[in-house]
């Protein structure tokens, strides 16, 4: 029997004999080895190398993450501990948590996390300055060179009542675009950021919204992950659903399933337009309709290609992921992967990594959830999918070290609040995340793609 088979047999035979509050008696962390199970397949090009435990509360809820190869740091929006976790990407060790965020906020019934009011959420950095959105619609500006207790230097309201979510920053660190995804209608805020300054002086330049003919109010439509393309000097923001794409489709105004695809919002930060309509080739701004894609994530690869994290949660008929060229708007479909939230381009191996927590489960799979880490090469071809914990929607890569960081949610039985990992093998008690982490409290799993081993260095093609 293989190592995986032995683990499955062992954990499937384990029976909880008592309940302690919301948690059942599970195999102790000491009895588990990390980086095993279906999330660490021996034949993958993307190898699991370490599981990093986060001190404090179990990872019951987290959001977006980011990596800075120059500082050798990874940042995770950790709602469970009401702060930004920082991991050393050179030594693969936990460094500290920057506190001062809303943390987990439950819905009025107390039955689930209220994502719209919890925080932190989006996160990005340039040099010493890290920017993070919070559940009260504020941007927190953090000095990474400062002591933990005094690291937050500014808290700036965007004027909303719900969370400030995902964001992107220009290469010089002087302009930042952040989305209030849960406002109705949603909007983005363009900030003047700190660049390489020694003191913080971040402020709002403009609020940017989309024409109501494209994002009608009153239907809970959204703006999601932005990305910055240094060649076109534009921000590109995923829009999950837009009206009339195609004409007469259902964006929520009709009963029945959603039939409208999403769009891509193009913004010129040097010439911001408060309300953007359909894409205007003269100004190079506006909304580009997308074919068969309701995206959450967006990331810029080489040759001005963007991979968009399409998900059937936005566009139910969708079964593929989309790559679009920023200049030509030509597209290519990536078959075999969908359901992504955050997506991240790794410059170290010219591959895209997808946090696909809502992936469509392959026929015959014995896993209880379709959640995977998707790996797509620069030619828009799916390389592999690797099972993850059911809440694993966040991913970031350190391109200098070819390391990929994927948070895993805690393992707790059905009915726990917040809900835990449900990605079990054949209905057994061992979850994918538990086997990856070597325990039940969640962790950040580190993967490495060794380019020298698979010689997969083909130049990405343009579309």
pLDDT per residue as tens digits for the range 336-370: 999 999 999 999 999 999 999 999 988 888 898 88
Rounded CA separation 1/9 (Å): 10
pLDDT at 463: 36
Q: Is 435 helix (H, G, I), strand (E, B) or coil?
A: helix
Rounded CA separation 294/263 (Å): 7
Rounded CA separation 372/162 (Å): 29
Give residues with Cβ within 8 angstroms of 36, minimum separation 6. Answer: 3, 4, 7, 435, 436
Q: pTM (2 decimals)?
A: 0.91
Q: What is the radius of gyration, based on Cα positions, of the chain?
A: 21
CA angle 353-356-357, nearest 5°?
A: 145
Q: Pick out the chain residues at pLDDT < 70.
A: 1-32, 453-463
pLDDT at 450: 83
pLDDT at 28: 39
- Whole-Å CA distances, 315 to 13, 27, 111, 358: 39, 39, 26, 12
pLDDT at 52: 98
Q: Is 452 helix (H, G, I), strand (E, B) or coil?
A: helix
pLDDT at 454: 60
Tens-digit pLDDT profile for residues 370-392: 899 999 999 999 999 999 999 89
Give residues with Cβ within 8 angstroms of 248, minimum separation 6. Answer: none
- Is the link from the previous residue into 364 a cis peptide, with omega within 30 of 0? no
- Is the link from the previous residue into 87 a cis peptide, with omega within 30 of 0? no
């Amino acid at each position: 029997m293989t190592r995986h088979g032995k683990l499955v047999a062992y954990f499937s035979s384990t029976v909880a004999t008592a309940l302690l509050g919301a948690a059942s008696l599970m195999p102790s962390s000491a009895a588990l080895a990390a980086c095993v199970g279906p999330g660490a397949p021996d034949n993958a090009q993307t190898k699991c190398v370490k599981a990093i435990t986060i001190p404090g509360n179990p990872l019951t809820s987290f959001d977006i993450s980011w990596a800075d190869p120059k500082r050798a740091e990874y940042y995770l929006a950790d709602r469970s501990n009401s702060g930004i976790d920082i991991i050393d990407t050179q030594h693969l060790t936990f460094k500290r948590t920057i506190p001062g965020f809303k943390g987990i906020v439950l819905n009025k019934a107390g039955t689930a996390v209220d994502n719209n009011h919890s925080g932190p959420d989006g996160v990005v950095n340039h040099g010493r300055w890290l920017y993070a959105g919070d559940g009260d619609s504020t941007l927190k500006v953090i000095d990474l060179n400062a002591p933990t207790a005094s690291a937050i230097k500014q808290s700036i309201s965007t004027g909303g009542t719900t969370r400030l979510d995902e964001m992107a920053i220009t290469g010089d660190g002087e302009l930042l675009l952040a989305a209030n995804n849960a406002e109705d209608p949603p909007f983005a805020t363009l900030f003047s950021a700190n660049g390489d300054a020694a003191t913080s002086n971040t402020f709002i330049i403009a609020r940017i919204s989309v024409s109501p003919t494209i994002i009608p109010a009153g239907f809970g439509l959204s703006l999601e992950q932005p990305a910055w393309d240094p060649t076109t000097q534009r921000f590109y923001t995923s829009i999950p659903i837009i009206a009339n794409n195609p004409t007469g489709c259902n964006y929520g105004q009709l009963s029945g399933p959603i039939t409208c695809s999403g769009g891509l919002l193009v913004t010129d930060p040097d010439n911001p337009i408060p309300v953007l309509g359909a894409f205007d080739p003269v100004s190079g701004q506006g909304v580009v309709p997308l074919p068969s894609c309701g995206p959450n994530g967006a990331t810029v690869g080489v040759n001005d290609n963007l991979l968009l994290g399409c998900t059937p949660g936005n566009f139910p008929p969708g079964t593929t992921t989309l790559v679009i060229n920023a200049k030509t708007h030509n597209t290519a479909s990536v078959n075999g992967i969908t359901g992504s939230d955050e997506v991240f381009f790794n410059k170290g191996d010219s591959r895209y990594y997808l946090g696909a927590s809502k992936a469509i489960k392959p026929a015959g799979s014995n896993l209880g959830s379709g959640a995977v880490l998707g790996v797509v090469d620069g030619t828009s071809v799916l390389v592999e999918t690797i099972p993850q914990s059911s809440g694993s929607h966040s991913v970031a890569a350190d391109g200098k070290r070819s390391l990929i960081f994927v948070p895993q949610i805690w393992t707790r039985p059905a009915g726990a609040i917040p809900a835990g990992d449900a990605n079990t093998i054949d209905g057994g008690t061992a979850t994918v995340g538990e086997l990856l982490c070597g325990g039940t409290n969640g962790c950040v799993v580190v993967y490495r793609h060794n380019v020298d081993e698979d010689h997969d260095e083909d130049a990405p093609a343009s579309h």
